Amino acid sequence: MKNIYLLGATGSIGEQTLDIIEKQRDDFKLIGISGYSNFDKLVEITRKFLPEIVVVKDKFDKEKLVKLFPTIKVEFGRQGLKTLATYHKEDQDAYLINALVGMVGLEPTIEAIKIERDILLANKETLVVGGHLVSLLKKQYQFKLYPIDSEHNALWQLMNHENTKDIKRLIITASGGSFRGLSRDELKNVSVSDALKHPNWSMGNKITIDSATMMNKGFEVIEACYLFDLDIDKVDTVIHKESMVHSLVEFNDGSILAHVSHPDMHLPISYAMNYPNRKVTHIKPFDLMLLNNVSFQTMDLERYPCLNFAINAFKIGGSMRTVLNAANEAAVDLFLSGKIKFLDIETIIEEAMRKHQVIDFPSLEEIYELDSTIKEEIYKKFR
Ligand code: NAD
Ligand code: MG
């Protein structure tokens, strides 16, 4: 039996994690959850699973929740997320599942590492902004970090018993997102609702926009470098519209291994939660004939400059990755609220990166400070 501490229970990954917990009640026990803006959904989940601790957005939501569930411990805000990540410190049979969106996921990850709690990570922004801190902590603490992101979960499955030195390159596939059929010129006046229509995956709003700009793939390249300890020159991306091959690994002997499945996040989440075992999922059997219709296309960095920004931010290193992420979070938020156009997302990120003076190895506090400064500057401009 594993005890589950779930950050971001009300989100897309959070909900799919809850589906698995519900189906495997004998294997998993939900001890704590967090939510943010969707209070009603959090109440519903709390009622269904009766966890010991619930973390909400602020003290007003805390008051409301305490009234509804007087015996449950309720915390809020940044401190609340830390409390949840380290709740029952001594609990050895535990997983922290980080399904938060954005850099808010970094600090609770670090807190969990420091008590040597194993982590199942969906929150890729943790590694984008704080990969250097996590890598350092890997040398000091004993913990496991299992990827939930589908491409990385696939890579983990493919490389499980391989030596890193035998790997020639990783190939991460990208669907191309909602606007993959459009030219740059046609991107000028696209709408928010069209941007949110991802052709293959149903995901939270932010990652759906990140997929349309290809920033998501940029983040995933950085995520792969930290997870698998590989140089960025060994991580390639390719457009694969059908989202059936989730990643490939090319070895020095000329072999290429690929991971194939329907695009459904229940699978990587279930694999990570049940590792090293595999459990039957509801996912329908994969008809091999589907592979007669798959396609691969070379990635076009001119069509998708955000991927290039991410690669450059990783190569420059240090605080540039915080700037990349902070500018992206603010720009995507402004686009979603109708304040800027789709292509302004790129302009905002490029400008923020151009103006930034790099700090080599930013601490957690420096990352938080820089993140707010960058976001404030951008929001001020478009208020
Ligand atoms: P989502 O927007 O659906 O859910 C995000 C969760 O984080 C929600 O529970 C929300 O309440 C919480 N949250 C948001 N802002 C917060 C804040 N400031 N403080 C505390 N909590 C906050 O997002 P998602 O699609 O589930 O994605 C979660 C993470 O997983 C992201 O990093 C995303 O890139 C990654 N991921 C998602 C998918 C997917 O299919 N959805 C696939 C691969 C990776
Ligand atoms: Mg992914």
Instruction: Work out the angle at residue 126's Cα, subtended by the Cα atoms of residues 234 and 250, and round it to the nearest 5 degrees.
Output: 20
Write out pLDDT tens, residues 91-149: 989 999 999 999 999 999 999 999 999 999 999 999 999 999 999 999 999 999 999 99
To test ligand 1's pocket by mutation, which of 100, 111, 261 has the most ligand atoms within 8 angstroms of CB? Answer: 100
Please tell me the predicted confidence (pLDDT) of residue 383. Answer: 83
Going from the Cα of 71 to the center of ligand 1, the distance in angstroms, rounded, reads 27
* Domain residue ranges in the chain: 2-143, 152-316, 317-383
Mean pLDDT for the chain?
A: 97
The mean pLDDT of 322-337, rounded to a whole number, is 98
The model carries a pTM of 0.98
Take residue 95 and report the two structure tokens written for it.
């997983």
Does domain 2-143 sit in CATH 3.40.640.10?
no
Residues 6 or more apart from 126 whose CB is under 8 A from it?
98, 103, 105, 106, 109, 134
* DSSP H or E stretch at residue 20: helix 12-23
What are 170's strand-pairing partners?
235, 249
Question: 82 and 34 in contact (C-beta within 8 Å)?
Answer: no
Q: Which of 101-115, 189-203, 305-319 has the lowest mean pLDDT?
A: 189-203
Angle between helices 39-49 and 59-68 (to 10 degrees): 40
Residues with CB under 6 A from ligand 1: 8-14, 34-38, 99-102, 104, 122-125, 149-150, 201, 203-204, 206-207, 265
Give the atom of ligand 1 at the shortest distance from the alpha carbon of 13: 26
> What percentage of the chain carries pLDDT values higher than 90?
97
287 CA distance to ligand 1 middle (Å): 31
As to burial, measured by CB atoms within 10 angstroms (0-12 exposed, 13-18 middle, 19+ buried), residue 287 is: exposed
- Cβ pair 157, 246 in contact under 8 A: no
Ligand 1 mean position, distance from CA 237 (Å): 23
The answer on pLDDT for 201 being more than 90 is no
Res. 288 pLDDT band, cuts 50 70 90: very high
Calculated CA dihedral for residues 25, 31, 36, 41, nearest 10 degrees: 40
Ligand 1 centre distance from Cα of residue 98 (Å): 9
Q: Hey, what CATH class is 317-383 in?
A: mainly alpha
Distance CA 168, CA 117 (A): 32
Residue 290's pLDDT band, with cuts at 50, 70 and 90, is very high
Which ligand 1 atom lies nearest to the CA of residue 36? 11
Angle, CA of 102, 106 and 111, to the nearest 5°: 150
